[in-house]
Amino acid sequence: MFAAIGHSATRPSILSSLLGALPYLRVAPSVAASRARLADMDDAMLADIGLSRGQARAEAARPIWDVPANWRA
C-alpha cells in the first residue's frame, strides 16, 4: 500500500520527526543565550574559565542543535 502512494514504510513520519526535535527545541534558547554570553566575554573572563579567545569563538559559532546528548535528555 505504501509503495502505491509513494511512501516508504521505513521513512519516519512527520510526527515522529517533530517529536524527535522537541529536546533540541527545549534547550535551544538557553544554548543560544549561553553562547552569546561566551562570545561577549573579555579575555580576563575567558582566562578565568580556562578558554582562549579562539576557543570561545569556536564554541559560540556552533549551531544551537550541536549540544551534548545529556543536555537534550
pLDDT in tens, 51-70: 999 999 999 999 888 877 77
Matching residue, cell 553562547: 35
User: What's the rounded Cα separation, in Å, for the pair 70 and 57?
Assistant: 23
Highest mean pLDDT among 22-36, 41-55, 57-71: 41-55
Are residues 31 and 64 in contact, defined by beta-carbon separation less than 8 angstroms?
yes
